[in-house]
A and B are shown apart, each in its own frame.
Chain A
Amino acid sequence: MLQQFLDSLIADGTLGGMPRDVAYLIGMLGAGALVVFGFVLNISGVTTFVERRVWARIQSRIGPNRVGPQGILQWLADGIKLLMKEEAIPFAADSALFKLAPFVVTVGFITAFVAVPFSSALVIADLNLGILYITSMTSLVVVGIMIAGWASNNKWSLIGGIRAAAQIVSYEIPAALSIFTVILITGTLSMQGIIQQQGWGPWDWFIFHSPFTFVGFFITFVSLLAEGNRTPFDLPEAESELVAGFVTEYSGARYLFFFLVEWGNLYVISAILVTLFLGGWQVPMIPGLAESPFWLNLTQAVTFIVKSYAGVITMMWIRATLPRVRVDQLMSTCWKYLLPIAFVNFMGTALWVLIWPEGFRFAELALTLLGFSMVVYFFYRVVFHLRRSGAELTFSPLS
């Protein structure tokens, strides 16, 4: 789309005699800036606000509600405050690497957005190895974290960096293995390709494709949580143990970058999960919708963002519920539980695809029913807790 647009601009002479490649470069940089400033930064910022409000409600509080209507601009105020703060670089720190680290982290995070699909047409680049590209780019984040941990010249930071490395390298394996289960089914690495093979209904989603993908979904979820340094795996910055882990010595704008990545990563993790297991942007083909590309893409994008954001809120909700695991437990979870099960899943899916290349309808429907009954039982428990507490209820998200 961008290429066509630039070609048309060149053709009618708006850009003068600018060489084609330079025009492409400027166009891509412009589009990139638009995406970064228009979407990526905002989604990270809004996520911090939403996280604080979600936590607050879980903890019987209200959360930030002063800046802007209902506090919606709190993230902007925080960001501006951090940008204007003095940045202290410790005297004994390695100042070049200390400054480099936030940028490595941010690059690793923002480049991942290139392959995230929002609708059937709305994707920056539909790489044919999209999912592999995203996982490889996010691995840059850990390098940044390690640089930060080492360059701060602080022992807490160093331990945080080491923990981050050990954790992310370990959890990449079960994550990759369970991502491969989906790839076994689809036969493509492209994000769009994976979504196109699913349907709008839950029974057409890959999570309910077979018992193995059902388990694989949870393994992927847990491993990606660990890769995103989220509770219960937030050991690298465990504030009660390591003060603030690898960000201990950071302040001001550089500190901001780390948290930009941390919260933006939530969205990337969710987007991966939604793409792989939860049907992506698939919407029911209502007659009339298919004819209008604009409305089709809009509904698809809304569907995708709503699904991903549900995932983001789930991660916040998990963070508000669970305690942190210990380092040895972290490792045993990965190597003793997730990895063997992921292997079994991988083999199982391979067999499943061999036996039923087109999917097994009965299993899909049964698993959908299982998932649905789990949700129903969950709400039964919620109501049970509500009744037992006898608490005053309010259904307004605003108070």
Chain B
Amino acid sequence: MVGGFNAYFSNIFEVASTVFEGMAVTFSHFVRKPTTIQYPDRMAIRVQDTLPYRYRGILEVDLEICTGCLACERACPIDCIVIDAKKDKSTKKMMLNRFDIDIAKCMYCGLCSEPCPTGSIHHTPEFEGADFSLESMMRRFVKQPVAAYKPKKVEDDPEVAPILERGMRYLDEFADPAGKTGTDS
């Protein structure tokens, strides 16, 4: 036998001392504060409000500032965005007939909100998307055909201006790849 008595007793001692130490560590947790977040009902504030600004939740579209440029549809790698934008022959305006996002397909990658020129399509902090049917996961943003937004130098419409301001701020902080540092892109 190798080691003999020494190894025998040092084995016992090692087991005892390391178990003792481990037990001390776990015992110290009896008086530590648990880190559990009791989602959803026992929270001081909603989870959605605690999420960081860049959180990529369920997509939303502000139709008021959507230009119908189809950049998001092209950027989407899984084609979950379907836009039908046509120029109305009579009014010469770009009309949005359909703007659907299939939330069931969406993988929340954020690639669609990056090319958006106005910040119309953006992520919300909402994430509770469970529903009973696939059909209800289809978000249809165009209820009836509306005219697409035409960018102006200075927005003067009091209804659209705050939305656009929000969109541009979103672009600035979230979607603009250069971030706040400001680059040439």
Contacts and interface: CB of A to CB of B under 8 A. Distances in A.
A381 B33 contact: no
B153 interface: no
A398 to B, nearest CB: 11
Contact of B34 (A56, A318, A384, A385): A56
B23 A318 contact: yes
Nearest to A314: B23
Interface in A39-80: 56-62
B148 to A, nearest CB: 50
A392 B36 contact: no
A74 B142 CA distance: 48
B36 A385 contact: no
B26 A321 contact: yes
Interface in A345-399: 378, 381-386, 389, 391-395, 399
Contact of A381 (B11, B21, B36, B38): B21
A385 B23 contact: no
A325 B21 CA distance: 18
B32 A60 contact: yes
Contact of B19 (A60, A62, A321, A337): A321
A57 B35 contact: no
Contacts of B130: none
Contacts, number: 69
A321 B22 contact: yes
Contact of A382 (B12, B27, B33, B35): B27
Contacts of B36: 56, 60-62
B26 A317 contact: yes
B23 A57 contact: no
A365 to B, nearest CB: 23
Contacts of B25: 321, 385
Residues of A in contact with B, size category: 20 to 34
Interface residues of B, number: 22
B20 A60 contact: no
Interface in A277-323: 317-318, 320-322
A386 B27 CA distance: 10
Interface string B1-33: 000000010011000000111111111111111
A385 B26 CA distance: 9
Contacts of B24: 378, 381-382, 384-385
A381 B8 CA distance: 26
Interface string A147-163: 00000000000000000
A318 B22 CA distance: 9
B32 A392 contact: yes
Contacts of A384: 24
A381 B23 CA distance: 10
A337 B32 contact: no
Contacts of B30: 57-58
Interface of B: 8, 11-12, 19-36, 38
Given A56-B36, A317-B26, 13 more contacts: A57-B29, A58-B30, A59-B29, A60-B34, A61-B34, A61-B35, A317-B23, A318-B23, A321-B22, A321-B26, A381-B24, A384-B24, A391-B32
